[in-house]
Amino acid sequence: MFLLGFLLGLAVGFGFWLWQQVQLNDYLEQIIKPLSSHTNKVSLPLLPFSRTLSDRLFQEMSTAKQNQQDLYLSLEVYKQLLDSAPLGYLQVDEENQLLWCNNQAKEILHLQRWQPGQVRLLLELVRSYELDQLIEQTRDWQKSQVREWVFHPSRDHGQVMLELKSLAVAASSFPLPGGQVGVFLENRQPLLDINQQRDRSFSDLAHELRTPLTSIRLVAETLQNRLSPPLDGWVNRLMQEVDRLINLVQSWLELTQMETNSTMLLHLETVEVRSLITSVWETLEPLAKYQNIKISYSGLENACIRADKSRMHQVFMNLLDNCIKYSLPDTSIHIQINLISAGEFIPKDIQSQLLEINIIDSGNGFADSDLPHIFERFYRGDKARQHKSVHESKMTTSINGSGLGLAIVRQIISAHGGAIKAMNHPEIGGAWIQIHIPEVMSKLPSQDYS
């Protein structure tokens, strides 16, 4: 009886010990599981094997510690790379507190007051509405954003304020987990200064060239009246080249003035678009007759805009002259005038409608590689648009231009608050220039006419 009681007690004690081992194994399993989530699940031993489990626990903890050290090392390497980068970088949390920025960002935004390890609101360190709006839009839309603006540094001390200069900044932002936002910053001011210095140099050169070119033309005119054929032909050719140089210099000066003065002086008046285009075509029609090129209209019969008539005359003169040069013989230049909703072009609270003017020639169109550069100064897509012009003398010559006409056109359209775009027409295949102009004064029902 005593032996039976002893065995029963031993069985109960062994069962209790076994239950404790199971509980201990479950507890250790819960501890190890987060540390080894990347590994396959391994069954844990029971009973006397708890020492093996303890060894594994210490091994997992050692591995986690090593991984943490590797992450800290990688983070330091990335910080060093960003500190050495030519671009500025800053990172804010979900409350717009500055978490970290590199040396270049400190220099661009004058963040010398911020020290590593500090967590302060970005607004306390940098007073820039554009930067704050960029970060908020990036966080709200969860999309990368790009923006350029002129940054005006601020300081508490008035004397220091006078020493700080404004600079052009370009920023590219991207969303990060947890509501954080990263922003790359680029100081564009040195590039703008170089461009302004280049423009001033070219403007000074153009001013200096006008006087000798005018003198050369006067001498050529004097010789033209005193020479007989065939010598006078050489003088005529000389005068043509001098006129081309004079026009080039004048165009350069005009374009530089437009780009320098962002607010171009415009004499606004009510301009009826079709009548303006008709007057321009009457001037160019003698050139169009050489290749039997005609013009056709469609769209609004009468549409008026608030614009500078002389500037808009210059726009259509440049565009239609190009159309005549590059259109094939015995074809037409199509003008389409439509009234469209402003949509994404202009904020709805400012203007609800735009006048769309489409000018489509019958030439070979633009090369795809040329389209992004059509309106750049001195850019000429010769491969896309070059062909031979046939004159009455039956001589063939390549069409030449200064490469400034379309750049001037874009500046004038931009000064009127409009936009211009170059494309190729999908059906006709010719060059397609599309203009959007606000300030529509009146409109009549659409009708076709030619």
Residue 418: DSSP 8-state: -
Number of structural domains (the chain) is 4
State the pLDDT at residue 381: 60
Contact 100/82 with Cβ under 8 angstroms?
no
Q: Which domain holds residue 176?
A: 85-187
Q: Residue 298 is part of a domain; what is its CATH number? A: 3.30.565.10
Comparing C-alpha atoms, which of 25, 27, 32, 26 is closest to residue 47? 25
Comparing C-alpha atoms, which of 108, 140, 138 is closest to residue 125? 108
CB atoms < 10 A from the CB of 150, how many?
Answer: 12
Residue 423 within a domain: yes
All residues at 6 or more sequence positions from 386 whose CB lies less than 8 Å from its CB, including other chains: 398, 399
State the pLDDT at residue 50: 54
Q: Residue 140 is part of a domain; what is its CATH number? A: 3.30.450.20
Residue 10 within a domain: no
Residue 262 within a domain: no
Q: How far apart are CA 145 and CA 353, in angstroms?
A: 28
Same-domain status, 108 and 244: no
User: Using CB atoms within 10 A of its CB, is residue 342 exposed (0-12), middle (13-18) or buried (19+)?
Assistant: middle
Q: How far apart are CA 145 and CA 141, in angstroms?
A: 9
Q: How far apart are CA 131 and CA 117, in angstroms?
A: 22
Same-domain status, 272 and 395: yes
Q: What is the distance of C-alpha 38 from the center of its chain?
A: 43
State the pLDDT at residue 257: 75
State the pLDDT at residue 222: 85
Same-domain status, 298 and 414: yes
Per-residue pLDDT 10s for the chain (450 aa) are 667 776 777 777 767 677 776 776 666 666 555 555 544 444 444 444 455 666 776 777 788 887 888 787 777 777 777 777 889 999 999 999 999 889 899 889 988 788 877 888 888 888 899 999 999 999 999 999 999 999 988 765 444 455 678 899 999 999 999 999 999 999 999 888 888 787 777 778 877 888 888 888 888 888 887 888 888 888 888 888 888 888 888 877 777 777 766 556 788 899 999 999 999 999 999 889 888 999 999 988 888 999 999 889 999 999 999 999 899 999 999 999 998 876 654 444 444 688 999 999 988 888 888 888 888 877 766 444 444 443 333 323 334 456 788 988 998 998 888 999 999 999 888 999 999 998 776 544 444 433
All residues at 6 or more sequence positions from 337 whose CB lies less than 8 Å from its CB, including other chains: 273, 274, 297, 298, 299, 300, 303, 355, 356, 357, 358
Q: Residue 236 is part of a domain; what is its CATH number? A: 1.10.287
Same-domain status, 307 and 443: yes
Q: How far apart are CA 356 and CA 358, in angstroms?
A: 7
Same-domain status, 208 and 274: no
Residue 30 within a domain: no
Which of these three, 257, 282, 303, is where a domain ends?
257
State the pLDDT at residue 118: 80
Same-domain status, 165 and 96: yes
Same-domain status, 289 and 415: yes
Residue 3 within a domain: no
- State whether residue 381 is helix, strand or coil: coil
Residue 127 within a domain: yes
Same-domain status, 232 and 295: no
What is the residue whose two structure tokens read 């005068």?
239
Same-domain status, 303 and 437: yes
Residue 34 within a domain: no
Residue 29 within a domain: no
State the pLDDT at residue 202: 74
Same-domain status, 383 and 238: no
Same-domain status, 176 and 304: no
pTM (2 d.p.): 0.57
State the pLDDT at residue 262: 57
Same-domain status, 299 and 315: yes
